[in-house]
Amino acid sequence: MTDETRSPIKDKPLRLPGQSVDEQRQKLIEDRFEYPALFAVMLTALAGFEWWRDYTGAPPVPRLMTALALAAIAFAAWRFYRLRPRLHSLRLASEGEKVVGQYLEGLRAKGYRVFHDVVGTGFNVDHVLIGPAGVFTVETKTRSKPRRGDARVVFDGKALTVGDREVDDRIVVQALAQARWLREVLAESTGKRLPVRPVVLFPGWFVEQRPGTTREIWVLEPKALPAFLDNTAQALMPDEVALASLHLSRLIRVRERDR
């Protein structure tokens, strides 16, 4: 593109479900694996060349080049082995966000605006719903299920137990912080204190709500979300839904432009 022309697209598109996770995964591959793998391929080619020189009678040094190639291959294999758990975790997270994002798209028919991968400062909100029942930050937690045993998430109002893992309150703290951040951002932008509720979704898991669970945060299986929304009193009028959506879309585009 020359200085005399410019893109016809004025604003960058809104983000897709799981985009931050995909970006992390791609960066991880590029930074931690592609360069060692490329180095290994280059040295392997050099070793092959040296063996060819040996075959043709040119003065060779194949043993040295082979040793270097084997060392590079071993290093790349070690790097990939170390990266596999993290890559698997990111792939699982990306798939979960995409599945939940596609499911949330169906709520548009009920008057909800859906935003995906809203980037904050040093974090991202997987999805945001804005509609009659209010504003909702949606955090998707995709966890591998055990082949045997209890595939159950237990929520007591403060902390979560996922399967046989220990009780953990970090997910709840994270979700509450995201809702608080969006509430303040929208208040600053719109001048209104809109109701923002955090939601944590566990695709494919059975979620058990223990007695005493508060309504401040919802921890659900995705298919249960529509019923919770339907049973919540109307909190936003259509003009407020449009206002909040407009300001959030502007925020997303500004942040994308500045990245």
Q: Domain residue spans in the chain?
A: 19-93, 111-258
pLDDT of residue 213: 67
Q: What does the alpha-carbon distance between residue 88 and residue 18 come to, in Å, rounded to a whole number?
A: 14
The one-letter amino acid code at 238 reads: P
How far CA 106 is from CA of 110, 112, 113, 114, 129, in Å, comes to 8, 9, 10, 9, 11
Whole-number Å distance between alpha carbons of 199 and 226: 12
Return the pLDDT at 226: 92
Is 138 in contact with 100 (CB distance < 8 Å)?
yes
One-letter amino acid identity for 133? A
Which pLDDT belongs to residue 139? 93
pLDDT tens for the chain, 259 residues long, are: 445 544 433 555 567 777 888 888 888 887 778 778 888 888 888 788 878 877 888 776 778 778 888 898 898 889 888 888 888 888 888 888 888 888 899 999 999 999 998 988 888 899 999 999 999 999 999 888 777 766 788 888 788 888 777 767 888 899 999 999 999 999 999 999 999 999 999 988 888 888 766 678 999 998 899 999 999 999 999 999 999 999 999 988 888 777 6
Q: Dig out the tokens for 191 from the structure.
A: 């001048």
